[in-house]
């Protein structure tokens, strides 16, 4: 055995990153990504701090302004960050909060009873990832003492480093106490510093629902757009919003608010005549997309109370089986919000609540409120139970259809579903499947693919719109059965991501109106029946080119009219071909432009706001025409290319 000479490895190789340098070197550890999501996370961190003040009862107004010069300011009318000296650091509390990780009033020091910002890294991370930042504090004399009355304190930073001391000056005019932070994101860190008004508006609306009685204002100086949110009804208003356009079975949402052992429990429930479940859970205003103990308690209470009521009302007979959890959640829209002094989240992203005592508390609170509502409103109870019974019958039919799908699945029987051309690899991490529109496109894709890791599943015609169909009807649709069989995961409650046969599921349709419709139908199916596929980052959309331009021996492909126009300006003797569909490309062209990993562009499908996505899918794909018309009217001006 030969020994390689060891390279020098001493204490000199150990690097200590001082202050906020660690954040600048590894921003993904603190904000997830440096794309649009990470950019907006900067605003979220500051708004979280303002919401903490609101939940503590010291703030009733939060304002976000996107400036024309790229700056963003976030203001609240809370107590103001303390301006006196922090004993451990020897610096002002303002500078400590803005420059020291894990510094804040949320670690049991009495600053906050309930908080969403748990790690104390929010403001300092924003500071670290901004090329410039300033903070202004107008202290509340009642909270910080009379010596600060009538003063405004300001400090400026550059890339997290203080440029000035915290300097007090006299207030120039009437101004309420609170904190304002202005920051300019560092364009050397972020892919883009162009904020999306719609993303921020959706987030602030959600905050307004979860912190009732607080006014949220958003203004965009770039184009003058403005929006305000204020909801006295809190999560009851949230549920009504989620149900807009749907036919409710209980006209007024069932609501409970209770404090148990220091934990605040809120639930709002309303059923509709649809087939999907829309339940959203929050802990300290954080969207716990993976659920947790509060969701467990909610589901247990819902199933138990509805079964007890159905038997007491003689709707379920002695020999009838109980309604299952799946039965009682069809057509359910609900929001569960808990606020805890000591929340325990599972995972760094805070997506699942782990406090086990909360399950029993939510179960107790909801059981009492739901039982009382059903007894006092028997007509609501009858409509809800009838809905559950219909769901039960449909579930049995769906089970039979699902069993048929499983029997025919590629995993269990060894046969390939439909016209699936599978790949030779059996390693899901390197395998990908293209769901392709049409036979001709499927033929080109099969010929052009790399057979080792690329599978092709052609679909024919438009698939079923699952937004309008019960599960049993959906599972009897041939194209949907083929997709389920090919992926191997099952759907809804039976979904198991460990059985996913391909870690890239790529929707590849024509770049025209019909192709967009088929893509939307497939996205609806995945969002409603395989949401974990999207949350796990496994779903993609292929981007085939619109044009092929040849000048002499030079061949170029373009994905928009703008790209093509920029290329052809001033050039002569250019042959331009417009691809009206994937089938017009030969196998080599399709491989080079759309399937070759080194050349292709894939859009990864994600969900920034599940509640907003839920409403959007209903608006676009539901039975009611009016919401769809409103959506088209609101977004018509954003359409750049429309085939005629």
Please give the share of the chain, as a percent, with pLDDT higher than 70.
84
CATH code for the part of the protein at 414-544+588-638:
3.40.50.670
Cα 366 to Cα 532: distance, rounded to the nearest angstrom: 27
Q: Residue 635: what pLDDT?
A: 55
**pLDDT tens digit sequence for 181-217:** 999 999 999 999 999 999 999 999 999 999 999 999 9
Structure tokens at 342: 């000591």
Helix 357-376 / helix 378-407 crossing angle, nearest 10 deg = 120
Q: Residue 642: what pLDDT?
A: 47
Adjacent-strand bridge partners of 434: 456, 506
**pLDDT tens digit sequence for 28-80:** 888 888 999 899 999 999 999 999 899 888 999 999 999 999 999 999 999 99
CATH code for the part of the protein at 235-399:
3.30.230.10
Residue 639 in this model has a pLDDT that exceeds 60: no
Cα 434 to Cα 207: distance, rounded to the nearest angstrom: 38
Least confident of 2-16, 23-37, 93-107, 260-274: 2-16
Cα 353 to Cα 356: distance, rounded to the nearest angstrom: 9
**Backbone φ/ψ region at 130: left (φ over 0), alpha (ψ -120 to 50), beta:** beta
Least confident of 86-100, 387-401, 502-516, 608-622: 608-622
Q: Residue 585: what pLDDT?
A: 83
Task: Tell me the average pLDDT across 3-15.
Answer: 51
Residue 479 in this model has a pLDDT that exceeds 90: no
Highest mean pLDDT, choosing among 7-16, 256-265, 554-563: 256-265
Q: Residue 644: what pLDDT?
A: 38
- Residue 12 carries which DSSP code? G
**pLDDT tens digit sequence for 513-532:** 788 888 888 988 998 889 88
Residue 583 in this model has a pLDDT that exceeds 80: no
Structure tokens at 23: 């954040």
SS3 content of the chain, % helix, strand, coil (to 5): 40, 20, 40
Structure tokens at 462: 């438009």
Least confident of 263-277, 312-326, 630-644: 630-644
Helix 357-376 / helix 293-312 crossing angle, nearest 10 deg = 30
- When pLDDT is cut at 50, 70 and 90, the band that residue 120 belongs to is very low
Residue 473 in this model has a pLDDT that exceeds 60: yes
**pLDDT tens digit sequence for 586-604:** 888 889 889 999 888 888 8
Q: Judge whether 336 and 282 are in contact, CB under 8 Å.
A: yes
Q: Residue 114: what pLDDT?
A: 54
Q: Residue 16: what pLDDT?
A: 47
Residue 413 in this model has a pLDDT that exceeds 50: no
Residue 234 in this model has a pLDDT that exceeds 80: yes
Task: Tell me the average pLDDT across 416-443.
Answer: 84
Domain ranges of the chain: 21-229, 235-399, 414-544+588-638, 547-578
**Residues with active-site annotation:** 437, 510, 512, 514
Least confident of 171-180, 287-296, 303-312, 342-351: 342-351
Of 474 and 94, more confident: 94
Q: What is the mean pLDDT of the chain?
A: 85
User: Fold for domain 21-229?
Assistant: Heat Shock Protein 90 (3.30.565)
pTM beyond 0.85: the answer is no
- When pLDDT is cut at 50, 70 and 90, the band that residue 107 belongs to is very low
Torsion angles phi and psi, residue 533, rounded to 5 = -60, -40
Q: For residue 454, how many other CB atoms are within 10 A of its CB? A: 25
Q: Residue 599: what pLDDT?
A: 87
**pLDDT tens digit sequence for 485-520:** 899 888 888 889 999 999 999 999 887 778 888 888
Q: Which residue has the tokens 């919003």?
A: 241
**Torsion angle, alpha carbons of 142, 165, 25, 120, to 10:** -10
Q: Judge whether 360 and 368 are in contact, CB under 8 Å.
A: no
Residue 434 in this model has a pLDDT that exceeds 90: yes
Torsion angles phi and psi, residue 100, rounded to 5 = -115, 125
- When pLDDT is cut at 50, 70 and 90, the band that residue 111 belongs to is low
Residue 416 in this model has a pLDDT that exceeds 70: no
Q: Residue 520: what pLDDT?
A: 87
């Amino acid at each position: 055995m030969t020994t390689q000479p060891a390279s020098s490895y001493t204490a000199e190789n150990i690097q200590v990153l001082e202050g906020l340098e660690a954040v600048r070197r590894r921003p993904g550890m603190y904000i997830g990504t440096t794309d649009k999501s990470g950019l907006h996370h900067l605003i979220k961190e500051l708004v979280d701090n303002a919401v903490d003040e609101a939940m503590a009862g010291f703030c009733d107004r939060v304002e976000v302004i996107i400036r024309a010069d790229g700056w963003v300011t976030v203001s609240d009318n809370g107590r103001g960050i303390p301006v006196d000296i922090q004993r451990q650091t020897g610096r002002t509390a303002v500078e400590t909060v803005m420059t020291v990780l894990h510094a804040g009033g949320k670690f049991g020091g009495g600053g906050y009873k309930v908080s969403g910002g748990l790690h104390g890294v929010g403001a300092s991370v924003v500071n670290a990832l901004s090329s410039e930042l300033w903070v202004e504090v107008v202290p509340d004399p009642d909270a910080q003492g009379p010596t600060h009355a009538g003063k405004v304190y300001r400090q400026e930073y550059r890339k997290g480093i203080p440029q000035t001391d915290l300097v007090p000056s006299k207030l120039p005019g009437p101004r309420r106490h609170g904190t304002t932070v202005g920051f300019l994101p560092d364009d050397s860190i972020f892919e883009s510093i162009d904020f999306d008004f719609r993303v921020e508006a959706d987030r602030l609306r959600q905050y307004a629902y979860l912190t009732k009685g607080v006014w949220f204002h958003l203004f965009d100086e770039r184009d003058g757009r403005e929006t305000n949110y204020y909801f006295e009804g809190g999560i009851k208003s949230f549920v009504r919003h989620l149900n807009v356009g749907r036919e409710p079975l209980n006209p007024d949402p069932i609501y409970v608010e209770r404090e148990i052992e220091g934990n605040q429990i809120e639930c709002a429930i309303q059923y509709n005549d649809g087939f999907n479940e829309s339940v959203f859970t929050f802990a300290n205003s954080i969207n716990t997309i993976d659920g947790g103990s509060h969701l467990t308690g909610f589901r247990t209470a819902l199933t138990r109370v509805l079964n007890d009521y159905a038997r007491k009302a003689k709707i379920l007979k002695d020999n009838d089986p109980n309604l299952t959890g799946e039965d009682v959640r069809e057509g359910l829209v609900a929001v569960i919000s808990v606020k805890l002094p000591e929340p325990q989240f599972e995972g760094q992203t805070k997506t699942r609540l782990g406090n086990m005592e909360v399950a029993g508390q939510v179960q107790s609170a909801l059981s009492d409120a739901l039982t009382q509502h059903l007894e006092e409103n028997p007509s609501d109870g009858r409509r809800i139970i009838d809905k559950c019974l219909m769901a039960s019958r449909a579930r049995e039919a769906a089970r039979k259809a699902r069993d048929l799908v499983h029997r025919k699945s590629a995993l269990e029987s060894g046969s390939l579903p439909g016209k699936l051309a599978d790949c030779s690899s059996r390693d899901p991490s390197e395998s990908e499947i293209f769901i392709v529109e049409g036979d001709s496109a499927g033929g080109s894709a099969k010929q052009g693919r790399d057979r080792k890791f690329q599978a092709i599943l052609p679909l024919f015609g438009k698939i079923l719109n699952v937004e309008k169909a019960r599960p049993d009807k959906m599972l009897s649709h041939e194209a949907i059965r083929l997709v389920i069989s090919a992926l191997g995961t099952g759907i809804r409650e039976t979904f198991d991501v460990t059985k996913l046969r391909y870690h890239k599921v790529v929707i590849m349709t024509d770049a025209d109106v019909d192709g967009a419709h088929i893509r939307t139908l497939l996205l609806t199916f995945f969002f409603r029946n395989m949401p974990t596929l999207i949350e796990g980052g496994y779903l993609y959309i292929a981007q085939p080119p619109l044009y092929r331009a040849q000048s002499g021996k030079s061949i170029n492909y373009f994905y928009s009219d703008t790209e093509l126009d920029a290329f052809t300006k001033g050039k002569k003797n250019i042959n331009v071909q417009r691809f009206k569909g994937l089938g017009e490309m030969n196998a080599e062209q399709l491989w080079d432009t759309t399937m070759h990993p080194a050349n292709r562009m894939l859009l990864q499908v994600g969900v920034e706001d599940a509640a907003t996505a839920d409403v959007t899918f209903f608006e676009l794909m539901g039975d009611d025409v009016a919401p769809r018309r409103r959506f088209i009217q609101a977004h018509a001006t954003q359409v750049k290319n429309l085939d005629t």
